[in-house]
Structure formats: C-alpha cells, structure tokens
C-alpha cells in the first residue's frame, strides 16, 4: 500500500467508517483538550451577565427578526412619545400630517383641516357644496379619524365653506356700506 492509502485503511481505524469515525475523532479531540486543562465539549459559555431560565432552551439568532436587530425609527419614536406623555399631541399631528390617508384622497382634495382645539376639528371645504356633503357624512369621517389616530382625539367636526369675498380694498379703507352705496 502507498502512504496515501494508509490513512484510509479501515483495519487501522478499528473498522469504523462514516459517522462512527467522526464521533470517535471528536471524542479523542475532547479528551486531548481536557488533558490540557481546557473545558471542552460543553458548547459556548453564556455571556457575562446573562442568565438562562430553568427549562428554557438557548435560542440562536436566525434569519428572522431579533431584539438585537436595529429597530424602525417609527417604533422608537412611538415608544418615546408614550413614555413622555406626548401620545395625544402626536395623534393630533397625525390628523394634519396624514390627512389624505386618514379621510381618503377624494375628500382631501376638496377639504383641509385648519385647527384642532379641545377635540373639535375645524375643516375648511373648497365650496359650499363640499361643506354640505361633508356635514352629511360627518359620522363616517369621525369614525375614520378615530380608527386612524385613536378614540377621543377628535370628538366633533366644525365644517365651514369658503369665506365670502371681502370688499375691503387696500389699507386705507373708509368705513361704510361698501359697493352698494354706488349703485344708485
């Protein structure tokens, strides 16, 4: 036999092949490590300060999300707002900042929120027809807003149409009846 074939001779390996050979080799390596005073064959040591609960298996990080992964900024901001008591203010800002997604694009194209005070949301419609339509679906709008930002943030709506045109022209206006006094 050649020198290369001697290492693969099953008789020199005690007749072991496959997995049995691997187990024997591993045990020999562990025994050699123990003889040198090393703690071999016990797996990885727990990190300093970590404590394993009795009966709980060690969990390995895998391809799924983990508590050690970077967290989304929105989740961190929401947690900070909750801790500091800013949740109501954030919800109020959501009504204004995400108006089109809260009420729908069609309504957002024709009406905008102008103020929110004491739970009353003021909404300015672009025409009197849209103001009337929004007053008719006021209950549905309140339900959509409550679903998006939470109950109690907006309790009622104050819907107004466009403001009447001002007849005041310039900073030096003279008080009076306006344009009606020139019509004869």
Q: What is the pLDDT of residues 51-100, one digit of tens each?
A: 656 666 666 667 777 777 787 888 888 888 889 988 888 888 888 999 99
Other CB atoms within 10 A of residue 134 CB: 21
- Spell out the domains of the chain, with CATH numbers in brackets: 75-160 (3.30.300)
Question: Which alpha helices (DSSP H) does 7-60 contain, by range?
Answer: 19-35
In the predicted model, is pLDDT for residue 1 greater than 50? Answer: no
Q: How confident is the model at residue 50 (pLDDT cuts 50, 70, 90)?
A: low
Stated pTM of the model: 0.50
154 in Cβ contact with 116 (< 8 Å): yes
Name the residue among 155, 137, 136, 135 with its Cα closest to residue 95. 155
Q: Higher-confidence residue: 45 or 76?
A: 76
Strands 111-117 and 120-125 turn out to be antiparallel
Rounded Cα distance between 32 and 30, Å, is 5
Backbone φ and ψ for 112, nearest 5 degrees, come out as -130, 145
């Amino acid at each position: 036999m050649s020198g290369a074939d001697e290492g693969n001779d099953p008789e020199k390996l005690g007749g072991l092949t496959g997995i049995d050979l691997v187990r024997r080799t591993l045990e020999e390596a562990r025994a050699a490590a123990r003889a040198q005073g090393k703690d071999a064959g016990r797996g990885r040591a727990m990190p300093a300060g970590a404590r394993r609960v009795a009966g709980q298996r060690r969990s390995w990080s895998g391809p799924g999300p983990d508590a050690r992964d970077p967290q989304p900024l929105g989740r961190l901001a929401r947690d900070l707002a909750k801790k500091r008591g800013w949740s109501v203010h954030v919800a109020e800002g959501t009504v204004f900042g995400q108006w089109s997604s809260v009420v729908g694009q069609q309504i957002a194209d024709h009406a905008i929120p102008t103020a929110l005070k004491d739970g009353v949301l003021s909404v300015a419609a672009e025409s009197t027809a849209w103001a009337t339509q929004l007053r008719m679906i006021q209950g549905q709008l309140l339900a959509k807003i409550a679903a998006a930002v939470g109950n109690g943030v907006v309790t009622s709506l104050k819907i107004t149409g466009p403001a009447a045109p001002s007849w005041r022209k310039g900073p030096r206006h003279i008080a009076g009846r306006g344009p009606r006094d020139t019509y004869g």
